[in-house]
Structure 1
C-alpha cells in the first residue's frame, strides 16, 4: 500500500484555523479506509499540538500523531493560501498530516526521517508549491518518501522517477551557492591555504528528539548536519525518534570536538557525552537555528582550547558521574561476547545503585534515631514499626511528629520500600540493555518473582539475562502486517514474560535460591582470617584498574549484598561494603598526598590533578587516580593494589560496617558508632600511607637510576 495516494492530496486546503484544516486532511484518511475513528485521531493530533506547535520555518505545517485509530502509516498533503500553524515566521502554505499506527516501530517508520529531511530541501518544497495535479504531488513525494521498495515495483518507480526528480538536478546548482554562500563566503576558495589556520574543520556529534519522535526529531538532525557542512565541519546526529535510532559509537563520541543536543525529551544515556563542550537547546532551534548552534559549538571549542582547566573540570565531572551511578549503560559496538555480557550486567547495576543508596542511607539514619530513642536494641525493635503493624506500631495511624521512634520507623519503612525495588530494577535494566524497551516488562516482572522467592541478587541476574534474550528473540519475529501494531504492547510483553517467569518458577528458581542462601550463610559466617582474606581480595580488585571492569565487579558484589543485610548493623554484607568503599578511596588520596610531599617527582599537570584528587578520593571516586595510572601504569597500579588490599583487609578485621553504597567520608556519620568511624579512617590512612610510600620510593629509585645512566653516558 502506498504511503500517499491522490485521494490524500488537497491542493486547495482551507479552514478558519489549523484545527479545522487538520480535520479536512484527516477526513481523507477516513475516506481511504486508513483511519477507523476520526474523533480519536483528531484528539491524538490535538494532544500532540498541545505539547508543541508543529509549524516550522519556511511555511511548513506538520501535524502528526501515533494513534490506535490509524491502520496504516500514511501521509496527507494540503496546500493553502496561508494558515497559522504556530511558526514564528508566518503561516504555513504546505501541510503534511503524518499518521502512524500506535505501535510505531518497524520498517514502515522509515518514512518519518525521509519526509523530515525532504522538507529541508528547497527544491522539494518548490516542486510541491508548483504542482498542478494530485498525481504530480504523489510522484514528487514518493520520490523522496516511500516504504521499503518491493522488487516488482522497480520498473514503475523507475518510469516515474524522472518526472518527480527532474526539478532536483536543475535546482541543485542554483541552490547550492545560496545555502553555502551566506555562512561560508570563502567556500569556492577552499584550496587556498591561507584560510586553513583561521578556522579548522571540527568533528561534531549531536542528538535530536521530540515528544513523539516523528518529524521534529529528523528535521532538526537534517538542519544541524546541513549547517555543519556549510560551515566546513563534519557532523553525525543520533536521532532518538519513533523509527528507532542508530546510536553514536564510542569512537565517534571520543573523536568529537563538541556536542549539540536539540531535544525536548531527556537524552538517552547522556553520560556518554560527559567531558565534551556541549550546546543544549530545544528541538525547534535545531531546525531553525542550525548555523547559530554550530557557531556556538565553534566558540565553545575555542574557549576550551584557550582554557584547559575547563576540560579538566569536565573530565572530573564525567568521572564523578560514572562513579556515582553511570557504571556502564552502553554496550560497545563490536564488543566480544564476554564484554557484552559484562556490560549488560553493569547496566543493571548502574540503574540499581540509586535505589540501594536511598534505601541504605534511610535505613541507616533510621537505626541511628532508634538507638537514641530506644537504646541498643532500637535498631532491631524498629523493624516492628511499619504500615501493616497493628496498634501503636502502625505509623500511618499513630505517627507522632515529636517522637524519635516514629521518625525512625518512617525512615525505615521508606528505606525498606526502596530496597524492595533492588532486584526488579537490576533485572529489568539488564534486560533493557539486551533488548531495549521490550526487555523491561519480562525483566522487572521476573526480578520481582525472584525477590519474592528469595533468590536475591543472583535471581535478578538470571531473570534479567533470560528476559532480555527472550524479548529480543520475540521482537525479531516476522509477523503479518496486521499483527505488527500490537507486537510491542501485547505480544512481546506477554510471551517474553510468560517464558521468563515460567522458566524461573518451575526450573531455575529453587537451585538459585539454594545458592543464594548458601552464599549469604557463608558471608554471615565470615570471621578472623577468612574475613581478612575477603577484604584483601576485594581491596586489590578495587585498586587494580581504578573504576574499570575489575573495580566495578568488586563494587557490584558489595552493593548486591546490601539488600540482604537485614536489620543487624554488623552483618557481613555491610562490612564488605565498608571494605570496598575504603579501598576505592586509597588510590586518589595517595596520589594527592604523593604530589604534595614530593612534587618534584611529578609533572605540572600531574600536580594539578593531585589537587583535584583530594576531593575525588574523599568522595570515593577511584577514577581520580586514572591520570597518574595512565602516565605510569606499572608503578602506580602495583602500589595501588598493595595499598588498597591492605585497607580492605583492615576494614574487615576491624569490623567496620556501612549501609551507604557511595559517598566516601561524607556518609561516615551514618555508621553510628564513633569507634567504627575511627577504625574505618585508620584503615584508610594506613592504606594511603603505604601506597604513597611505595609510589614515592619507586619513582625516586627510577629517577636516581636515570640520573646515573645519564652521568655514565656523558
Structure 2
C-alpha cells in the first residue's frame, strides 16, 4: 500500500522527526510505501499533491492540529499521538492498513481549501481526555510557543556577556547592563565590542520580555481558542508588571482561557454576535483578568516568586547537589515526557528571573538540567558500541543517531531503547542522569542558554566540569544498562544472532 503521514509534537523538535523516521522504517519493513510530512518547529515541506492523490490511507501522528487537513479528505485514516508512532510504529502502520482495508473514508473536511484562508496557531487538546491530561496539554501548548523566545533571548544575552567580558574585562557582565539604551541608538559603532555586547543584551532582553505573556497567551488559546489570546497576553504582561513572573503567567493563562471560554458561550442576540470576538470577549475577559491580578492575587503570587528565588539562591553545598540529583532524575525518567518537561520548564523559566548574578542558582539549575538530559542518548549510543551483541540490529542503528541527538540535548534519542526495554533502560537512565545533575551542581557550572547541548559550550560557565559531569553520568548509565541486559539477554537479540550464525554457515557451505 501507499500511505502518507503527518507528524507533529508540541515543541516540534524531537518527537516530530523521530516519529517520521519510525513510520518510514516500519512501513518499509512491512512492504508499504510511507511518505511523511513533518510539521515541526522549523516549518514543514508539504507533501506533493500527486503523492497524496495516489495514497491509499493517511496517518496522523500528531499532538497538534494538522495543518491543511482538507488535503486528505475522503481517505481512510488513523489518528494517534506522536509518541504512539515513536513507540509502536509497526502497530500504527498495521492500524492504517486495517483502516484502508475496511474501506471507511474520512468525512469530507469543511473550511478553507489547502493553502488558502486564514490559519491560526496550532494546538491539540483531547476534549474527551481526563482533566489531568487536558491540563497537561493546555500547559504544554503554552510552553511549546514559549521555548523559541527563551532560546533566542537566552543565547543572545549569553553571547552579549561573552563579548562584554572581552570588551570590559571581569566587570563586563555588570557594565553591559548599565549602558543606557539611548547611547546604543544614537552612537552605535560597528567596530566596538562594547556596542555589540549592548546590542545583543538589549535584543535578548526584549525577546525574554515575551516569555511570560506568550506562555499565558497560548495556555489561554489552548483552552478557549482565539478568544483566549488577548486576555492571555494581557494577563501575562500584568504578571510581569506586578512581579508575579512565570507563576503569574500560569495562573493568568488558565484564568484568561476559562473566562474567555465562558463569555464566548453566552447566548446573545444575532446583532451582537458579530462584535463578540473583536470587542466584547477581549474587553470583558481582559478587564476580569486585570482586576483579579492587580487587586486580588498579583501581590501574593509575586511574594511567592520572591520566596522561590530567595530559596534557590540560598541553596548551597549538599542541598544544591540534592536539587541537581532530583532534577537530573526527572530529566532521565521519561525522556521528553511530562516529568522531563516539568524539570525543563522549571529551569527555563528561572532564566527569566530579573537581577540574577553571573553565578546565580538559576543558571546552575539550567546547566544541571541540560547536562542530565544529554546522558541517556549518549549512554545508549555508547552501550551499543561497547556491548554490541546485547542489542538488535535496529537498536545498533539507532545508537549511531543517538550520538548526535544526545550531544544536541535531545533526550528523546533514547526513546527507541526505552520502548523496547522499558524498565532496564529507565532505571539506568534515572541513575546516570541523577549523577550528572548532582555533579554539575557540585562543580558550579552555569548556563544561560536553554538549549543546544555541546553547541553552546562557549556559553557555559566551567565547561570542563560540565563535560566531566556528562562523561561520568554516561559511564554510570552505560555500566548499569549493560549489566542489566547481560543478566537477562533479549530474546530478539538471541534470535537475530542465531539467524546470523545460520546464514554464515550456509555461506561457508556454499
TM-score bracket for the superposition, by shorter chain length? 0.7 to 0.9
Bigger radius of gyration: 1
**What is the rounded CA distance, in whole Å, between the counterparts of 1:396 and 1:420 in structure 2?**
19
Q: TM-score, normalised by structure 1?
A: 0.55
Q: 1:249–1:333: 8 Å Cα contact kept in structure 2?
A: no
Instruction: State the Cα distance separating 1:566 from its structure 2 match.
Output: 3.3
Residue aligning to 1:574: 363
Give deviations 1:219-251, integer Å, cap 9, x for gaps.
Answer: x66xx535x4xxxxx259xxxxxxxxxxx7749
1:615-659 per-position Cα deviation (integer Å, ceiling 9, x unaligned): 000000011000101111111000000000000011111111111
- In the alignment, what sits opposite 2:211? 422
Task: Look up the match of 2:57.
Answer: 202
> Residues of 1 paired with 2:96 and 2:154: CA distance?
39
Unaligned runs of 5+ in 2: 1-52, 86-91, 101-105, 495-510
| Corresponding residue for residue 469 of structure 2 | 683
8 Å contact 1:269–1:330 — kept in the other structure? no
Output the CA distance in 2 between the equivalents of 1:249 and 1:497.
36
Where does residue 612 of structure 1 map in the other structure?
401
1:558 maps to which of 347, 356, 378: 347
CA contact (8 A) 1:558 1:576 kept: yes
Q: CA deviation at 1:583?
A: 0.4
Map residues 570-609 of structure 1 onto 2, 5 A cutoff. Answer: 570-609=359-398
Give the alignment's TM-score, normalised by structure 2. Answer: 0.77
Q: Distance in 1 between matches of 2:474 and 2:141?
A: 31
Cα distance in 1 for residues equivalent to 2:260 and 2:299: 23
CA contact (8 A) 2:324 2:440 kept: yes
1:592-627: CA deviation from partner (whole Å, max 9, x where unpaired): 000011110000000000000000000000110001
Which of residues 257, 260, 272 in structure 2 aligns to 1:483?
A: 272
Task: Decide whether the 8 Å contact of 1:455 with 1:513 is kept in 2.
Answer: yes
Of 639, 653, 666, the residue aligned with 2:428 is 639
Asked whether the 8 Å contact 1:370–1:382 carries over to 2, the reply is: yes
Give the C-alpha shift of residue 570 in structure 1: 1.2
Distance 1:610 1:409, change over 3 A: same
Whole-Å Cα distance in 2 between the matches of residues 525 and 512 of structure 1? 20
**Distance in 1, Cα, partners of 2:470 & 2:119:** 38
Q: 1:235 to 1:696 in 2, by over 3 A?
A: closer
Matched, 1:407 2:196: yes
Checking the alignment, whether the CA contact within 8 Å between 1:208 and 1:263 is kept in structure 2 is: no
Aligned to 1:344: 138
SS in 2 for 1:699: helix
- Shift of residue 263 of structure 1? 2.1
Matched, 1:264 2:53: no
Q: Distance in 2 between matches of 1:330 and 1:665?
A: 32
Give RMSD over aligned pairs.
2.8
As a proportion of its length, which structure holds more helix? Answer: 2
Q: How many residues are matched?
A: 416
Listed one character per residue, the Cα deviations across residues 188-242 of structure 1 (whole Å, up to 9, x for unaligned) are: xxxxxxxxxxx99534669675xxxxxxx9xx66xx535x4xxxxx259xxxxxx
Q: Could you report, residue by residue, the CA deviation over 1:48-82 in whole angstroms, capped at 9, with x for unpaired residues?
A: xxxxxxxxxxxxxxxxxxxxxxxxxxxxxxxxxxx
Equivalences for 1:33-182 in 2 at 5 Å?
none
3-state DSSP of counterpart to 2:73: helix
1:305-350 CA distances to partner (integer Å, 9 max, x unpaired)?
xxxxxxxxxxxxxxxxxxxxxxxx4223421111211221121111
CA-to-aligned-CA distance 1:113-155 (integer Å, 9 cap, x gap): xxxxxxxxxxxxxxxxxxxxxxxxxxxxxxxxxxxxxxxxxxx
User: Where in structure 1 are there 5+ consecutive unaligned residues?
Assistant: 1-183, 185-198, 210-216, 229-233, 237-247, 271-328, 389-393, 708-714
Give, in angstroms, the shift of residue 268 of structure 1: 5.7
Structure 2: how far apart are the matches of 1:387 and 1:669? Answer: 27
Whether the aligned pair in 2 keeps the contact of 1:428 and 1:447 (CA below 8 Å) is yes
Of 482, 486, 505, 1:696 maps to 482
Residue 387 of structure 1 and its aligned partner are, at CA, apart by 1.8
**Matched-pair contact (CA < 8 Å) for 2:127–2:134:** no
Contact kept in structure 1, 2:390 and 2:490, CA below 8 Å: no
| Cα distance in 2, alignment partners of residues 455 and 560 from structure 1 | 12
Decide which of 318, 327, 331 is 2:125's aligned counterpart. Answer: 331
Secondary structure of 1:479's match?
coil
CA 1:203 to 1:399, structure 2 compared with 1: closer, same or farther past 3 Å?
closer
Larger RCO: 1 or 2 (CA < 8 Å, sep 6+): 2
Distance 2:418 2:67 in 1: 36
Match of 1:656 among 445, 464, 486: 445
- Kindly state the Cα deviation for residue 495 of structure 1 after the two structures are TM-superposed: 0.6
CA contact 2:384–2:399 (8 Å) conserved in 1 = yes
